[in-house]
Structure 1
């Protein structure tokens, strides 16, 4: 039986404090022994790189900073269809995740994932040229990793 491919994609800029949480989580996940069918990759801060990264994968888990109305460090689990109802602005560097995923479905309808999960982390600090996560986001790292690992096994 063929195992289906799962991709964890960390988005953001590690040079902008909490915006780098996606890349930080990918670094932490690479230290773990992930199943063979799971790939952890950084998308960087170019949202269009997601178009290529999500192709030919059964399930995608996107990890990124969120700037919404919750307390810093709060972890959200969302599906793309929930983004429309969401009051929070969940964006990947001026392009909404929803827009990118809609674009992918139009451009590559036969190669988009069956399931996409977004693990968003409420940012406190998005200061450029600061390579350190804020305390609330740093404290949320174990919860973020747990949420990602739960998605891999579900």
Structure 2
């Protein structure tokens, strides 16, 4: 099983750098990541992520901030509906995961890689963190910084379950990733 863990976000907008920080911590401990799992810090390079996904992955695990109206630092595990990407706006300077997957859908068809995003990535999960602050600034807020280690552990648990072949459907879009 090929799994890509992608840290997404803008480190110049406070808590939006959460995904990049989680990816950096995972990359700093390469022995903790199984061989079939790739970790990338995508940051705001959504077009790069879409092209990378053309290589084909069974699972994309996006790590990003996610507004779910919970307390800052709360973690959520969401499953993305690949069919819901058609209307996402393309912005090469700050693409949302929806926009990346919409671009991937078109790229897969245009390059002959497949009929759409589902042909190049089987499942998309999002490990999201409720942000406290998204205004311009460098550094994570205290509650989001405190959630980074738990998010690294949550990535490990999700990857382990995926590699073990466990069928763990995300029952609702606010399931806490613990």
- Normalising by the smaller structure, the TM-score range is 0.7 to 0.9
Structure 2 match to 1:45: 44
Structure of larger gyration radius: 2
Structure 1 match to 2:176: none
CA distance in 2 between partners of 1:131 and 1:96 (Å):
20
Structure 2 match to 1:69: 69
Structure 1 match to 2:154: 147
Distance 1:99 1:118, change over 3 A: same
What is the total number of aligned residue pairs between the two structures?
Answer: 143
Structure 2 match to 1:114: 122
1:60 maps onto 2:57 in alignment: no
1:111-153 deviations in Å (ceiling 9; x for gaps): 521121111111111121x221101101111221122111211
1:138 maps onto 2:145 in alignment: yes
Distance 1:143 1:47, change over 3 A: same
- Which secondary structure state, in structure 1, belongs to the residue aligned with residue 125 of structure 2? strand
Distance 1:26 1:47, change over 3 A: same
1:28 maps onto 2:35 in alignment: no
- Which secondary structure state, in structure 2, belongs to the residue aligned with residue 40 of structure 1? strand
1:35-73 deviations in Å (ceiling 9; x for gaps): 111111011213333311323112111001123422111
CA distance in 1 between partners of 2:59 and 2:127 (Å):
13
Asked if the contact 1:9/1:61 (under 8 Å) is kept, the reply is yes
Cα drift, residue 82 of structure 1? 9.4
| Uncovered stretches (5+) of structure 1, i.e. residues with no partner | 85-92
1:13 maps onto 2:21 in alignment: no
CA RMSD of aligned residues (A): 2.4
Cα drift, residue 95 of structure 1? 4.6
- Which secondary structure state, in structure 2, belongs to the residue aligned with residue 137 of structure 1? helix
